[in-house]
């Protein structure tokens, strides 16, 4: 975590804190008393690590190995060859 802010500080300075997250790419833990309540992260981190976490991605080599073993149904082969995997 880059920084910890209290719930009160977050309420008072929400705009500034969101700007720090967006522009400086800071990661902020929001705490109420002694209890951690939330983590605020840049949108890019969310898109990279959380939004697509349940999506399986394969490299070209892995796809070719599956094709060679016939592990991919024929109707998905053309789709898989067109779609390029995104790398993390």
Claim: this prediction has a pTM higher than 0.85: no
pLDDT in tens, 21-45: 999 999 999 999 999 999 999 998 8
pLDDT in tens, 10-22: 999 999 999 999 9
User: Is 26 in contact with 3 (CB distance < 8 Å)?
Assistant: yes
Burial of 73 (0-12, 13-18, 19+ CB in 10 A): exposed
């Amino acid at each position: 975590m880059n920084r910890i802010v209290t719930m009160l500080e977050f309420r008072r300075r929400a705009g500034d804190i969101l700007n720090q997250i967006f522009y400086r790419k800071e990661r902020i833990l929001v705490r109420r008393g002694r209890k951690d309540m939330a983590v605020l992260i840049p949108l890019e981190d969310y898109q990279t690590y959380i939004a697509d976490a349940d999506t399986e991605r394969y490299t070209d080599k892995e796809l070719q190995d599956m094709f060679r073993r016939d592990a991919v149904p024929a109707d998905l082969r053309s789709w898989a060859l067109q779609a390029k995997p995104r790398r993390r």
